[in-house]
Structure 1
Amino acid sequence: MASADLSAPPLAPTPHPRSTADLFGDPVDDSSPLWFKKDLFLSPDFDSETYISDLRTFVPFETLRSQLHSHLSSLKHQLVDLINRDYNDFVNLSTNLVDVDSSVARMRAPLSDLREKISAFRDCVHDSLVSLQNGLNQRAEAANAREVLELLLDTFHVVSKVEKLIKELPSVPADWSNGNMDTPEKTHLSNGVSLQQSENELNVRETQSMLLERISSEMNRLKFYMAHAKDLPFIQNIEKRFQSASNLLDERLGNCFKDGLKHRDENAIYNCLRAYAAIDNTRNAEEIFRKTIVAPLIEKIIPHGSSGFIGVASGDQLEDEFREMKRCIEKDCTFLLRISSRDNSGFHVFDFLANSILQEVQFAILKGKPGAFSPGRPTEFLRNYKSSLNFLSYLEGYCASRYAVSKFRAEPVYVDFMKQWNLGVYFSLRFQEIAGALDSALVAPTLVVAQNSHPEDSNFPALTLKQSVILLESLRSCWGEDVLVLSCSDKFLRLSLQLLSRFSSWLSYGLNARKLGNTNANPGSAWAISAGPEDLIYVIHDIKLLVDEVCGDYVGHVMELLSSCPSEVLDPVKQSILQSAKSLEDMTPPVIKLIIDVLVEKSVEALLQLKGISATFRMTNKPLPVRHSQYVSAILHPLKAFLEGDRATTYLDDATKKELLRGTAFEITKSYNELASELVNAARKTDSSLLKLRQGAQKRAGGSSDVPDGSDHYVSNTDKMCMQLFLDIQEYGRNLASIGVDATGIEEYISLWKCVAPADKQNTIIF
């Protein structure tokens, strides 16, 4: 490399624009804009394209390019300044770089040797690693082979052991009874052969059960081996031996379990159950108990031979049969149920209640008394259903815990037994029976008075109408003990609300038909057309009693039946019943309004005689009247006769009477005011017209006339008629007072008074 010329001048600085302040010796200011960040160029992750794209969103491209050129010039100027500042060092750097290639060659040689050594060592390590991995693989294969071989050997030994134990099983009791008893025991038992045989049989069963338990544990172990090596040819070859041993074990275990059940040997039964649990064959134990113990007991109670069911003569009632079953279970099944429910015994896998007892009971009922499950006869069906629930509750009493009860209820046999009781069809029949009875009563064309409705009747309140009595009977039937099924309580609640709604609709349809005069719109509304005010008294009376009963004892009875439900269920139930009662109570005002309309209509017939007053004074020259008209006493006669009648005094309370009295009096007075005002206004218009005609005739004649002026004491026909009406309304006010109504509190009466009263009595109402 050529040496650098030390005498070479330093680089000339690149000219760059200087600011005005620089020309006068002031330091150069950083005039870069704020958006131009020089530090970003030194960032390790700087990207020019991203930088430009970000700045172009708010900086013009020309401005950006100008600023970048300016920055480049500044950088070059700084580079030249740095070189000039350290120029000597820069020149010496080039002179010191002499024979660099030879130095590099000398350093490369040892590095190459080191690379070769490392490569050779890596190859050696790789070969050792491969060899080690192969050895480990072979070791793992050998371990797996050894494990499989040990498994096969254990399987073979267990199979042989099981077969040997099963074959020796029949000979164990004989060997034990002959060889294991000492001489004193033989001498002691020689006096009683039956006692010796009994004890020998007991020891034989216990020994057999213990041996069977041991065989079962070995069989369980064998099943584990067979499951883990089922694809191996050896296992496939001994599968027949396994099946044969398994079948033989099931047979011997079943015989031992049956023998233990017949003799109630608790130790033998306990060991057999442990054996069944060990081989996971609980179904066989449950089936053996069912056929050996349960089936003969149930057969005696509900005979169901193959020739057909025999229990027809006794009917399809199950109450007595369930009672007898409870006694038999208590006597003959409790010993096994007590054993299977021992704590920490592991016998929770058995369910003798469901799969043995309940299954046999269901089978016997289906074969011997199939009609017991039929809802076609609702009364018998409900009695059988409640008896079955009581029987299930009895069986649940043998469960040791809540978990056991839940497990019992979740068993398929339990679920299938509950499905036999078709509650949906039962409710449909009850619905037709209850709702049909009410509908039949409500379609009657008239209100029917109940024959046996007396206040002294303790079963029902003193309802007067047959329709009301049937409604209350229907409501009580929904929650009666002989009808209600608690699991269907929601349906019976809905039926109760429908009955109340149906009765309210019946009243509403009848009142609308009476108002419109049309009974064809809704069936069952004809009763309102023919009903008189006295008949409607029965309706008001019954509505009040029904509402009191529903809101009182009835809703209390329902709440008592549903007391096991949470409060968030009971509150809506109570509110729904009370709301239905309120809807029924709301029908009372329309009925009262109808009675008022009928009474007013009768009273208006007497008021029509007002029209004769005008003719009386216009056609004749009568003097001023001094007493009231005869028709006044007849105006309130329908109301008085109604309120003083036997039905009103017997069935209407004081509040209802008062409401009827005030309402009718107000409407009659309103009609009285309208008729009288119309009559007076018409008379006054007529007098005004006649006066104008007479005055016109006088002007044309040019002479005097007999037309009265204001100074005369002339009384017109209108004044006479008003005086008569004034006397009449005074009498009418006295009549209102006699029945307990203050006429001065009725605005229509005050308006009528001002219309017909003389000028000096306008502001004072005196009867």
Structure 2
Amino acid sequence: MTKSNRSDKSKSSSSSSLLPIPATTLCFDKNEFMKESFSVDHFVADCRKRVQLEVLRQDLEVYFKLLKNAMIELINKDYADFVNLSSNLVGMEKAIGQLRGPLQEIRHEVKDVNEVINKEMKDFELALEKQKALSTRRKLLGHMQGLLQAIEKIEHIQRSEDSTMGQILERIAGEFNQLQHHTMYCKGLPVLNLIRPRISSITGFLQSSLEGELVKGMAELEATHIHRCLNSYALIGKTKDAEVLVRMHIVKPHMQQLMEEQHGDLTIPSLKSMFYKILNVVPNHLRLLCDITSGRKNRSGEQFRGIPGYDFVVNSAWPEIVSSLEQHLPELFASRDPNIFHKRYCTCMEFVDKFERQCGSQASITRLRQSEAFHALMTHWSLPVYFQIRFQSIGGQLESALTPEIVKTESEQDAFRLQASLVAWQSVQMCWSEDIFLPGLLHRFWKLTLQILSRYGTWVKMLHNNEVLNKSPSSTDMDKVSKSIAQISGLVIDLGTIFDKVKQIYADKIEPLAKKQGLKDTSILEDALLELLNNLTKYKEDFVNHMITLLSSLSVAYLKHTQDVPRLYRKTNRPAPTEPSQYVNGVIKPLKLFKEELHPHIDSSMVSDWITQIASTVSEKYYSVVTDVLTSVRKMEESLMRLQKMRSAKSSSGNLASLAGGSDALSDDDKIRLQLFLDVSNLGSQMKDCTVNLDSISSYQSLLVMVTEAKEKRFKAGV
């Protein structure tokens, strides 16, 4: 707590102790009046939030009376002090007048001292400025003297004949640094203009001599000679000049020769051969320079002190290589044919990777990738144009396949049953195939993959609306129903297949490529892909239910032949049935074909579940039909019995007697019941062969019980 805070706190506490304590609770805090920031408006507004204005007024009147009484008590208590207050101030003015004179004298004395100090400070500052100026001039004189001495020393070294040219240049380079240092401080001085011709002469001599000696040393592969020249260039801060010299005298002639041998041939084998020869330029012609500057032993076993600041691979070889490709092979970067462009680009990037391995360090590789020449080479490869061509090709192929008309694949060996699904999967594969994908377009091909799946999902949604929601082929149109079932079953198979295959290609190709490109967290990619795939398969259940409905309609259509069974036996004298009716095979045929078509592609338990649902629907309808037939048979039987009683003739025709059950032979109605029993039993047997769980179908169990009881003449209507 600061000193001011403590004083404010003590002040407020002392002030609050003087305030009277009200007998009753007020709607406000009495200490609010003692605050320096007290505001009437804020105080009233704050109180209005708690009480009405009338209550506030009453509390203020109460508090006012308390304050008034407290003030009267305070005056009465200290009345003597109040009365003596004026008398205690008598003579105070005279005392103040006596102090005024000495205080004014002190004020004048302080003022005089202040003026003296200011004058002395100004004089001192002027002396310091003069001293600083003298020091600056002394330094300039020193630099001028050093400049003249450096020039004279360099000119003396130039005239010396007791050393080799390499040694002379190395000594001059060491002194040239001093010359440059002094020249920088002497800019604008007349002396510099007088000796500038001598400096220019020295500079020209040094540059021409170094250039000639370096070229001579590289031609003769004289390591010591080259080391001195490179060291001299480093001493005068002209390493870039040495690198340019190496580029012009070593790299450029070899590149021109290679380009002339190429004759503009852009075939892949020829390009690979050219890049191979370019890669050999560094180890064959720049190896000695790199060994000398890095301090490594050269091929002859010599080792020199390293010279920092040089990178001949990046600054000499690479710019000339890029420049030669731009000038002599501009068609290399053409993107008209995407297949050729892809091969050339991959060949060039393979060359770049191998060239990076020839860099001496990771820092050298970084300098290479950040260089203007590297950026220029990458810019020449029009990757966006290439992707646009691929996008149009892949997208056009997909759009042509996603038609409202469902087309099956030509080959039964394909994993997909529909042509649209096959093309959608092939489009995804094309995005990540080695002949199409490029690492620099990873984000674009990923987006295209999502677009392909989204477009396929839109097509599936359209089929869902057309086939499931809007169109339901009539059960009488068997060809359309069969075709629709085949199409929908193929789509159901394809939805599962494409779900599995896309997840597989993501795990095998897409995710490794993304991580190779530096993407550490690939969960966002996987989440986006799974969201699309889930949207793609959300209609699968509707398609399955619709397919079950259509299959049920095919089987149920044959159940109408059940009503023909009574006509086959009534008054026909046909023998008792021993085989099921032919229509039973028609009822079970759609289930068998459905199972045969789906079994190799979908889990058998799932197929069995679907077939069981179809069998349940068919059994319910069959139960209704058989109930009607048995009811009709029973009524006919009862009518014949009444007719027999009415005639009261014991010599009725044999057929009438048999129908009435008057003999031990099977009547026509018994044959009908037996035929229905055989039909229902055979249907159950065939459904069981189709992996249908009959115990789970209550309607079939009721049907079987009904025909069994009817065969034993215990059927009753409504059972």
**What amino acid does structure 2 have at the position aligned with 1:658?**
S
Q: Which residue number corresponds to residue 672 of structure 1?
A: 622
Q: 1:114 to 1:466 in 2, by over 3 A?
A: closer
Q: Is the 8 A contact 2:333 2:380 kept in 1?
A: yes
Match of 2:683 among 722, 735, 741: 735
What pairs with 1:523-602 in structure 2 (closer than 5 Å)?
531=483, 549-552=501-504, 555-562=507-514, 564=516, 569-573=521-525, 596=548, 599-602=551-554
**What amino acid does structure 2 have at the position aligned with 1:479?**
W
Q: Which residue number corresponds to residue 639 of structure 1?
A: 590
What pairs with 1:18-417 in structure 2 (closer than 5 Å)?
33-34=20-21, 67=66, 70-79=69-78, 116=105, 119=108, 123=112, 125-126=113-114, 128-161=116-149, 163-164=151-152, 167=155, 170-172=158-160, 175-177=161-163, 203-223=164-184, 225=185, 234=190, 244=200, 248=204, 253-264=210-221, 266=223, 269=226, 281-303=238-260, 311-313=263-265, 315=267, 318-341=271-294, 350-399=310-359, 401-417=361-377
CA deviation digits over 1:51-87, x for unaligned, max 9? 9999998686666665555455445544555799x9x
Q: Which residue number corresponds to residue 664 of structure 2?
A: none
Say which is worse superposed, 357-366 or 542-551, in terms of deviation: 542-551
Distance 1:587 1:49 in 2: 70
Question: 1:350 Cα deviation (Å)?
Answer: 4.8
Question: 1:411 Cα deviation (Å)?
Answer: 2.7
Q: Is the 8 A contact 1:219 1:246 kept in 2?
A: no
Q: Is the 8 A contact 1:606 1:635 kept in 2?
A: yes
Please give the secondary structure, in 2, of the residue aligned with 1:176: coil
Match of 2:700 among 746, 749, 753: 749
Distance 1:508 1:61 in 2: 77
Please give the secondary structure, in 1, of the residue aligned with 2:132: helix
**What amino acid does structure 2 have at the position aligned with 1:426?**
Y
Please give the secondary structure, in 1, of the residue aligned with 2:21: coil
Q: 1:762 to 1:432 in 2, by over 3 A?
A: farther
Distance 2:38 2:448 in 1: 77
Q: Is the 8 A contact 2:581 2:675 kept in 1?
A: no
Q: Is the 8 A contact 1:373 1:381 kept in 2?
A: yes
Q: 1:48 to 1:134 in 2, by over 3 A?
A: closer
Question: 1:215 Cα deviation (Å)?
Answer: 0.2
Q: 1:670 to 1:477 in 2, by over 3 A?
A: same
**What amino acid does structure 1 have at the position aligned with 2:21?**
L
Question: 1:150 Cα deviation (Å)?
Answer: 2.9
Match of 2:560 among 581, 586, 608: 608
Q: Is the 8 A contact 1:442 1:467 kept in 2?
A: yes
Q: Which blocks of at least 5 consecutive residues in structure 2 are unaligned? A: 1-16, 24-30, 48-55, 297-303, 473-478, 640-644, 648-657, 662-666
Please give the secondary structure, in 1, of the residue aligned with 2:162: helix
Distance 2:226 2:375 in 1: 29
**What amino acid does structure 2 have at the position aligned with 1:728?**
L
Distance 1:672 1:581 in 2: 40
**What amino acid does structure 2 have at the position aligned with 1:639?**
P
CA deviation digits over 1:242-276, x for unaligned, max 9? 98479636555555554454455555655555655
CA deviation digits over 1:413-465, x for unaligned, max 9? 322322222222222333334444455555587424239x4xxxxxxx77777
Distance 2:595 2:36 in 1: 111
Identity, % of aligned pairs?
18
Q: Is the 8 A contact 2:402 2:420 kept in 1?
A: yes
Q: Is the 8 A contact 1:478 1:492 kept in 2?
A: yes
Distance 2:646 2:489 in 1: 64
Question: 1:661 Cα deviation (Å)?
Answer: 3.9
Distance 1:373 1:352 in 2: 26
**What amino acid does structure 2 have at the position aligned with 1:607?**
L
TM-score by length of 2: 0.69
**What amino acid does structure 1 have at the position aligned with 2:173?**
L
Question: 1:714 Cα deviation (Å)?
Answer: 11
Q: Which residue number corresponds to residue 187 of structure 1?
A: none
Question: 1:589 Cα deviation (Å)?
Answer: 6.2
Q: Is the 8 A contact 2:559 2:622 kept in 1?
A: yes
Q: 1:349 to 1:420 in 2, by over 3 A?
A: farther
Say which is worse superposed, 359-368 or 462-471, in terms of deviation: 462-471
Distance 1:715 1:505 in 2: 66
Q: 1:207 to 1:51 in 2, by over 3 A?
A: closer
CA deviation digits over 1:198-227, x for unaligned, max 9? xxxxx422430342243034314533x25x
Question: 1:366 Cα deviation (Å)?
Answer: 0.9
Q: Which residue number corresponds to residue 13 of structure 2?
A: none
Q: Which blocks of at least 5 consecutive residues in structure 1 are unaligned? A: 1-29, 37-42, 178-202, 305-309, 454-460, 520-526, 691-703, 707-712
Q: Is the 8 A contact 1:298 1:325 kept in 2?
A: yes
Distance 1:448 1:50 in 2: 89
Q: Which residue number corresponds to residue 612 of structure 2?
A: 662
Larger Rg: 1
TM-score by length of 1: 0.65
Q: Which residue number corresponds to residue 523 of structure 1?
A: none
Please give the secondary structure, in 2, of the residue aligned with 1:318: helix
CA deviation digits over 1:468-499, x for unaligned, max 9? 66555544443333332223233333444444
- Equivalenced residue count is 644
Q: Is the 8 A contact 2:437 2:445 kept in 1?
A: yes
Q: 1:168 to 1:606 in 2, by over 3 A?
A: same
CA RMSD of aligned residues (A): 5.8
Distance 1:52 1:538 in 2: 84
Q: Which residue number corresponds to residue 9 of structure 2?
A: none
What pairs with 1:717-736 in structure 2 (closer than 5 Å)?
724=672, 727-728=675-676, 730-736=678-684
Distance 2:61 2:171 in 1: 104
Distance 1:165 1:237 in 2: 19
Q: 1:686 to 1:490 in 2, by over 3 A?
A: farther
CA deviation digits over 1:163-212, x for unaligned, max 9? 5456556534xx124xxxxxxxxxxxxxxxxxxxxxxxxx4224303422
